[in-house]
Every structure is written in structure tokens, then in C-alpha cells.
Amino acid sequence: MKKALGVLLVLAGCICLAIPAQAQLQWGVKGGLNLSKLDSNFRGVKDNTTGFFIGPMAEATIPLIGLGIDASLLYSQRGEGEYKQQGLDIPINLKYTIGLGSMFGVFIAAGPDFYFNFKDIDIAELEAKKKLVSLNVGAGVKLIQHLQIGVNYNIPLGDSFKLRNVGDVDSKYRTWQISLAYMF
């Protein structure tokens, strides 16, 4: 997994260096809904929970090729009740867009997601991890050159929680995200 993440980061860096001066750079705001499921065999864990995310977004695209990068700096909530995580979510996606005229486009995206948890969760022997890395895969549509509607699936590359003085327990938030972005 570390090699795959390294390859994605190197690829994203190479694309940033290769983007010509005439590349389109757009800024916007992105928000949406997190639909999370904590996969765990720990007692008392609920199945599906909802949260939200919101924050600024930037996108650089090579016009004729349709290849680009988008990055966001999002305040994000995952989970519910005593298992709720609140933090800073930084997805960096390689995005390929197929334009179907100037008013409509379809895109696919994938890349790493870095999550920094702000809220302490300390339930008996269960403790939330402060930093999480995951992989995003998603798709969506671009409308009237300003709106983007997307769906992402966030695949964790490690556990979301750790246990103290107890045997192994897998506990990972697997999250679907439904987003709406407005680009200026």
C-alpha cells in the first residue's frame, strides 16, 4: 500500500510540473455528505452514520487533454455520537475529464486522502488515531462550467482506531461521499 501511495504522489508531482502555462486553474468551494460505516468487531459500534464536509477547492486542468489535479482543504465529520471524528480532510485527486461540449463533462478521479483528526475519542480501551491515510476513487459530472457533482468512495489504508491493552480489532471508517462544488 505504501508503494501505491508513493507512486500516486510521484505521478501527481510529475503532472504538476508538466502542466503548461495555459492550463486552466479554477478555485471554488466544495461541500457534501459523508456516509460512513465503521467496520469493527468492537462492541457498541453502529453501522451507518452521516456527517458533512465543506471547504475550498482548487483544480488545474490541461484543456485539450482533459487531465488535471484537484485538491481540497475540507472540514469533515465522520461517524456519530461517541465515535464521531471531526477533522481536516485533504484529498488530492488525479482527474480525467471528457468534455461533451462546453456545458457538460464527465470525470473520473483517484488519489490519496489525508485526514487529521481534531476530536479526541477515548472510550475505555479505544482511541481514535490522529492521522489517517486513505485512497479516493470517484466520478461525477461538470455542468455549465461552474458546477461539479461527484461521488467518491474513500478506502482506508489503515485502522481508524487503536486499542490499548487488548487484542487485535479492525476498526476502519469506509466512507461514501456525495459532493457539490461551485467553481468561480
Lowest mean pLDDT among 14-28, 98-112, 167-181: 14-28
Distance CA 13, CA 7 (A): 10
Predicted structure pTM score = 0.80
Distance CA 169, CA 40 (A): 7
Tell whether the model's pLDDT for residue 44 goes beyond 60: no
Sheet holding 122-123, edge to edge: 122-123, 126-128, 161-163
Lowest mean pLDDT among 22-26, 103-107, 166-170: 166-170
pLDDT at 22: 57
Residue position matching grid coordinates 481536516:
88
Contacts of 13 (CB under 8 A, 6+ apart): none
Find the CATH number of the domain harbouring 126: 2.40.160.20
The number of distinct structural domains making up the chain is: 1
Single-letter code of the amino acid located at 72: S
C-alpha cell at 64: 485539450
For residue 71, give its domain range: 2-183
Assign 10 to helix, strand or coil. helix
Residue position matching grid coordinates 452514520:
49
pLDDT at 100: 81
Tell whether the model's pLDDT for residue 74 goes beyond 90: yes
